[in-house]
């Protein structure tokens, strides 16, 4: 049995198809979630901008992975060098993936900072109004991320500059990076994600405590604390999901490099571990959108309203009920109201002005 037809290779190809399906589904979900965030109430404008930028980063990463899979199809037909590290067609997907990762990491950092500011200066923060500065900062973030990605992928030491096109290489997973450095970075990401979860949970508890201590008449500050409570609970679940994903990813990367250095498994079979890592990222993208829709009440309400618009989920309503809603009069009788507003209010006025019969 050849390496290309080994059971692990067949399973690896199946995982590629599964990953592609997840990324395509994730793109649709993210577009819907962005629309929900745009309409959502109880969500500060700055937080909306951060969440939308993170969602856009997930879309960019999804397109980069789909682009790599399309290039793999071309490779299977013998188009281009067999060493995929020499394939210039992969340059754009790799640039996009690096851009998405940088933007996503920055957004995670800004989420915690934004909620911390909203917690400790709620009165001033509640009075902030949206301006063009937030959009300008978002644009600068993307421009800086593109610059970092171009610097990493187009540097003179880049893997495409020096490679042997005749040597087959079936993977570009973390190519050209030091193994220990990558493991340290993933571990640091794991610790920082855990710290973010703990900080958001403490902010959630602190907001609940401060809201209970407020005077009921301080409606604007109570509103801000209510927003903080809802969003910190939602963000704690979202970043908690990220923490679990990073832990699993750390285990996969650790095993990948251990097996690679000790020749524990053949290189062809090792691709299955790499594909599991990519499938994990795709599953995280879908799961994150599910958390955004289920754990944030305005998004959940919007989802339920949209589901009810689908014909198979609509409840049976008669036309007469839509045209003639039943309205109760003062004496408790049902009134048929068919847009005769003057007649209805005249009847209602007569009922209120009527005197009880002796």
Tens of pLDDT along the chain (358 residues)? 444 556 666 777 788 888 999 999 999 999 999 999 988 776 788 888 999 999 999 999 999 999 988 888 887 777 777 666 677 778 888 889 889 999 998 998 888 888 888 888 877 776 777 778 888 999 999 999 999 888 877 765 544 445 555 555 555 555 445 556 667 777 888 888 898 899 989 988 988 888 888 777 777 777 778 888 888 898 999 999 999 999 998 888 888 778 777 877 666 667 777 788 889 999 999 999 999 999 888 888 888 888 888 766 665 544 444 444 555 554 555 555 555 566 656 666 666 665 544 4
- Note the pLDDT of residue 282: 93
174 close to 132: Cβ distance less than 8 angstroms: no
- C-alpha dihedral, 95 to 96 to 100 to 101, nearest 10°: -30
Distance CA 250, CA 296 (A): 29
Burial class (CB in 10 A: 0-12, 13-18, 19+), 155: exposed
- Note the pLDDT of residue 311: 66
- Note the pLDDT of residue 320: 42
- Note the pLDDT of residue 319: 43
Burial class (CB in 10 A: 0-12, 13-18, 19+), 61: buried
242 close to 284: Cβ distance less than 8 angstroms: yes
Residue whose token pair is 């301006």: 131
- Note the pLDDT of residue 84: 65
What's the whole-model pTM score?
0.78
- Note the pLDDT of residue 324: 46
* Phi-psi category of residue 24: left, alpha or beta, with phi > 0 → left and psi -120 to 50 → alpha: alpha
CA angle 98, 99, 102 (to 5 degrees): 85
159 close to 176: Cβ distance less than 8 angstroms: yes
- Note the pLDDT of residue 338: 52
- Note the pLDDT of residue 83: 64
281 close to 181: Cβ distance less than 8 angstroms: no
């Amino acid at each position: 049995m050849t390496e290309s037809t080994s059971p692990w290779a067949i399973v690896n190809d199946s995982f590629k198809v599964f990953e592609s399906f997840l990324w395509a589904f994730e793109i649709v979900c993210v577009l819907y979630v962005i629309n929900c965030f745009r309409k959502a109430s109880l969500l500060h404008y700055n937080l909306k901008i951060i969440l939308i930028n993170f969602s856009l980063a997930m879309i960019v990463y999804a397109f980069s992975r789909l682009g790599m899979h399309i290039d793999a199809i071309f490779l299977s037909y013998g188009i281009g060098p067999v060493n995929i590290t020499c394939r210039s067609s992969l340059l754009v997907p790799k640039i996009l993936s690096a851009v998405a990762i940088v933007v996503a990491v920055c957004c995670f950092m800004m989420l915690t900072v934004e909620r911390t500011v909203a917690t400790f200066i709620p009165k001033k923060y509640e009075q902030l109004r949206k301006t063009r500065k937030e959009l300008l900062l978002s644009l600068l973030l993307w421009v800086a991320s593109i610059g970092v990605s171009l610097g990493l992928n187009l540097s003179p030491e880049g893997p495409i500059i020096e490679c042997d096109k005749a040597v087959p290489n079936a993977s570009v997973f973390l190519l050209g990076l030091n193994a220990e450095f990558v493991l340290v970075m993933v571990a640091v990401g794991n610790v920082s994600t855990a710290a973010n979860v703990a900080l958001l949970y403490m902010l959630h508890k602190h907001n609940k405590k401060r809201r209970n201590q407020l005077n009921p008449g301080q409606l604007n500050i109570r509103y801000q604390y209510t927003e903080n409570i809802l969003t910190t609970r939602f963000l704690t679940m979202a970043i908690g999901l990220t923490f679990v994903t990073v832990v699993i990813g750390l285990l996969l990367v650790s095993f990948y490099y251990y097996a690679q250095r000790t020749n524990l498994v053949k290189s062809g079979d090792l691709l299955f571990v790499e594909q599991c890592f990519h499938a994990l990222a795709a599953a995280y993208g879908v799961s994150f959108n599910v958390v955004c829709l289920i754990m944030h009440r305005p998004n959940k309400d919007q989802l339920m309203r949209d589901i009810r618009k689908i014909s198979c989920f609509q409840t049976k309503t008669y036309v007469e009920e839509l045209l003639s809603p039943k309205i109760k009069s003062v004496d408790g009788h049902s009134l048929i109201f068919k847009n005769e507003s003057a007649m209805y209010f005249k009847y209602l006025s007569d009922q209120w002005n009527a005197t009880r019969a002796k």
